[in-house]
Amino acid sequence: MVGGRQGNMAYSEAVLDHYQNPRNVGGFDQADASVGTGLAGSPAVGEVTRLQIRVDESGIIEDARFKTYGCGCAIASGSLISEWVKGKSLDEALGIRSTDIAQALALPPVKIHCSILAEDAIRAAVRDYRNKHQG
Amino acid sequence: MAVRPVYFDYSATTPVDPRVVEKMLPWLYEQFGNPASNSHAWGWEAEEAVEEARAQVARLVGADAREIVWTSGATESDNLAIKGAAQANQARGRHIVTLKTEHKAVLDTCHELERMGFEVTFLDVDGNGILDLDMFREALRPDTILASVMLVNNEIGVIQDIAAIGAICRDRGVIFHVDAAQATGKVEIDLQALPVDLMSFSAHKTYGPKGIGALYVRRKPRVRLQAQMHGGGHERGLRSGTLATHQIVGMGEAFRIAGEEMLAENLRCLALRDRLWAGLSAIPSVYLNGDMERRVAQNLNVSFGYIEGEALLMSLRELAVSSGSACTSASLEPSYVLRALGRDDALAHSSLRLSLGRFTTQDDVDLAIRIINERVNQLRELSPLWEMAQQGIDLNSVQWAAY
């Protein structure tokens, strides 16, 4: 990894900001009916993000928490989406695209997978919430 | 960057010792002659300096000065040794044996030979990074002409039993090449006693300048090599190209100092390294990579469970460390050396190589202990895997999405 300039120089201010001051770190009670939990990635690929959303009665995401195992860009992506999903309806949250995340963080091409992981985490969290509220 | 990070990457390169710089300087300007110019004093004095340096390099490793060939560094030495020996001896066979944990300069050279029609066996090592001698013996075939095994591993610092491996090679008539780039000044090398035919050296891992190295080529019994660089016939035709007098003088002086100070330096580094490990081994879920006893005093390679290596490196702004394997960044590929040890992917991802050396102080070590403890804790607070592990969830039982 020494040769890849993975050091602070290579990353955008946005990545460094989220990496150094991650927002909404933590979790909610997974069993809570108002909470949707999404887990994306795997230890084998070196990246796992857990995104949890708390949804109010009108179907709006009122709060979010995340934790990420992964590189700086993966952590920044997790932090960013935990901010973005707040105040959105579930369908609006599903409208967040990995390309938007990659653009907002100015991710280098080799780190695009981090934004895809974040999008996956949103989908998984919404899916989990909706599964809880079916029937 | 305002403040430079504290240097813990001596395995990547070392600063040139000030005494070495001093010795090199006159050869850049006042005494700039070409050592191959045999018709005037400018050339004669340069040649004399080159030969003195050759003797200094030979002395550190128990070789005859006539067995030392100057190259641009250990990578070139590895190329010349492996390609040169394979090509010169292919009438006897086309099979080569090496290890999966070798440096890329050896592995990629072997891959190139595969493309040229040679067959290469890449052996696994034990979980502690050491080659199993029986496995090595079994890998040798009647058509095996060459084996290449490094003395000290660049990532995990383990020391292979070169004497025993060389004895097996001798017994089977196999040419034995050893990459010793990481070993000089750290491990005693006596080529009079060691059954080694070819050995690669680098100056810049031993407080000499970058861009200069050497290859030991045994004279008795003589090892046949095919040159890889053609031109003016320098270095008895084995490596053409004008000799870089200042670099060579620097390597000679660096190796002279290494010989004189090795024992004291190893003791000092060992005390620092043990202090470092004592401070890091207190962290939960920390793993040492590579054998602790059969390892140079200057290396520590550790993995931290439940956090990712690049994030850890990025968080250690105050320290110049590496994840062990160079230039694998940007991919999701963990260290191939750690994978060869059988480390699971997550741990191979999170490895940290701390290498110390001549100018490392106890204050440096104490700073590293404090910073690493702090950052590992911070990243674990962020890690869903750490939380799951704390709750007693077996991560292997989780159904992870496929990627």
Q: How confident is the model over B70-77, as a mean pLDDT?
A: 98
Round to whole Å and give the CA distance between A116 and A101: 9
Element (H, E) at B319: strand B319-320
Chain B interface test: which of A65, A71, A75 (most B C-beta within 10 Å)? A71
Q: What is the mean pLDDT of chain B?
A: 94
Q: Which residue has the higher pLDDT, B326 or B43?
A: B43
Examine the pLDDT at B353 and tell me if it is beyond 70: yes
Q: Quick one: tokens of A80? A: 């960013």
Condensed to tens digits (0 to 9), the pLDDT of residues B29-53 reads 999 999 999 999 999 999 999 999 9
Residue A121 has what pLDDT? 97
Residue B398 has what pLDDT? 85
Examine the pLDDT at B343 and tell me if it is beyond 90: no
Residues of chain A contacting residue B12, judged by C-beta atoms under 8 Å apart: 2
Round to whole Å and give the CA distance between B150 and B152: 6
Examine the pLDDT at B92 and tell me if it is beyond 60: yes
Q: How confident is the model over B192-210, as a mean pLDDT?
A: 98
Nearest-Å Rg of the Cα atoms of chain B is 22
Single pTM value for the model: 0.91
B275: number of CA atoms within 13 Å, CB side?
Answer: 18
Residue B403 has what pLDDT? 58
Q: Express as a percent the part of chain B with pLDDT over 90.
A: 87
Residue of B nearest to A43 (CA): B346
Examine the pLDDT at B96 and tell me if it is beyond 50: yes
Examine the pLDDT at B65 and tell me if it is beyond 50: yes
- Test A2 with B326 for CB contact under 8 angstroms: yes
Q: What is the ipTM of this complex?
A: 0.91
Residue B182 near residue B161, CB atoms below 8 Å: no
Question: Strand B6-7 vs strand B319-320: parallel, antiparallel, or unpaired?
Answer: parallel
pLDDT category at B239 given cuts 50, 70, 90 is very high
* Residues in chain A, pLDDT under 70: 1-9, 135
Round to whole Å and give the CA distance between A92 and B76: 58
Q: Quick one: tokens of A67? A: 């934790």
- Please identify every residue of B annotated as catalytic: 327
Residue B301 near residue B312, CB atoms below 8 Å: no
Q: Using DSSP, how many helices (H) and how many strands (E) does chain B show?
A: 12, 12
Residues of chain A contacting residue B399, judged by C-beta atoms under 8 Å apart: none
Residue B321 has what pLDDT? 93
